[in-house]
Amino acid sequence: MDGKIDLVGSFATDWIRYSDYDIKETSTGDIYITPSENASFSMYNPFNVAEDLIINLITLGDIALKLEKEMNKKNKEKLYNEILIFAKKYGLLGLISASVYNQNIVGDEKVLLIENNHITKEKIMDESKYINQFIPFVEDDDITINKYKNCVDIVKREDSPKFYGKRPVILDLVFSKFYSEKINWIIDFAKMIAKHFNQLLVYKNTSVNLTENVTIMAGKFHARKIGFTINQLDKTTIAWEFDSLKTTIETIYAFAVTDEKIVFNRCKHCKNVFIANNIRSKYCDVSCRNRANVKKSRERKSNK
Ligand SMILES: [Zn+2]
């Protein structure tokens, strides 16, 4: 298939996105992105849009890296707008489940955080303190967490999906309209992937000089929460299991940059990330190639 990442195994998963999001500030001055009050939700399979998802995320990271050099009011608004566009397309990252080793989180007394989690430097946190960071705008009866002797249940004052234990309980919360994420967490993740991709390209272009394996951003890029099981229908397949959009993205990214049939590259002219069908294509489209040629011939003339 042309321009498609070759994903090995069964990748069906679904994720939630709302029709609209707001940027909201808490009383303590933290800036969050949260589904709008009247937004409706839809489910989608991130693996069906794998290529766009990776390109859009790296581009978001690129924009953040560029704008942060001069973070004035105008640039801040520009960046917030990019995050809103991303969220409307793909939903929030699900960092609440991606950032801790705990499976269900709800009902555990303490959560154990993974390293470089984009949220906090703390290593262990009380469950309620941890969860409250993701529902800063929740009001009285919006969400009730019931804890029984052997199980927990989340009651929501709206109609988003519930999994009745088929997926980790925390997803009942993630898929609700009250689940929010800090802008900075999302930016931090997007920047990390964009930087990872930049370093990867540097090593790729100098790979003739490498004598042993180089782990790109060894401490920073380390997907922790990916599980899989084995399914049998007409053939035996790996069925990957994801409990966040973040780990889904990390997986797609890993397959994308290691794919042997397609090449994720940066355009030599505009620097945008694009999918090339072979290693020799250096420009994202014909107009960039033309502009680059014009520039080259101008430079040649001025050097004469
Ligand atoms: Zn280009």
pLDDT at 3: 74
User: How much distance in Å is there from the Cα of 189 to the middle of ligand 1?
Assistant: 24
User: How much distance in Å is there from the Cα of 56 to the middle of ligand 1?
Assistant: 15
User: How much distance in Å is there from the Cα of 18 to the middle of ligand 1?
Assistant: 31
User: How much distance in Å is there from the Cα of 267 to the middle of ligand 1?
Assistant: 5
Rounded to whole angstroms, how far apart are CA atoms 53 and 248?
10
Name residues whose C-beta falls within 8 Å of residue 146's C-beta, 6 or more positions apart in sequence: 152, 153, 154, 155
* 210 conformational bin, left if phi > 0, alpha if psi -120 to 50, beta if neither: beta
User: How much distance in Å is there from the Cα of 297 to the middle of ligand 1?
Assistant: 18
Compute CA distances 231 → 108, 167, 234, 238, 241, whole Å: 30, 17, 10, 6, 12
pLDDT at 103: 87
Phi then psi for residue 77, to 5 deg, are -60, -40
User: How much distance in Å is there from the Cα of 289 to the middle of ligand 1?
Assistant: 7
pLDDT at 14: 87
> What average pLDDT values come out for the chain (304 residues) when binned by 10 residues?
69 87 96 96 92 96 94 94 98 96 91 93 95 93 85 86 83 94 97 95 83 83 82 84 91 90 90 85 90 88 76
pLDDT at 12: 64
Q: Which two tokens stand for residue 152?
A: 């927990």
**Chain centre to alpha carbon of residue 104:** 20
pLDDT at 304: 66
| Prediction pTM value | 0.91
pLDDT at 1: 43
Long-range Cβ contacts of 16-20 (<8 Å, 24+ apart):
16/41, 16/42, 16/43, 16/91, 16/160, 16/161, 16/174, 16/175, 17/41, 17/42, 17/44, 17/87, 17/88, 17/89, 17/90, 17/91, 18/87, 18/88, 18/91, 18/177, 19/88, 20/88
Rounded to whole angstroms, how far apart are CA atoms 223 and 221?
6
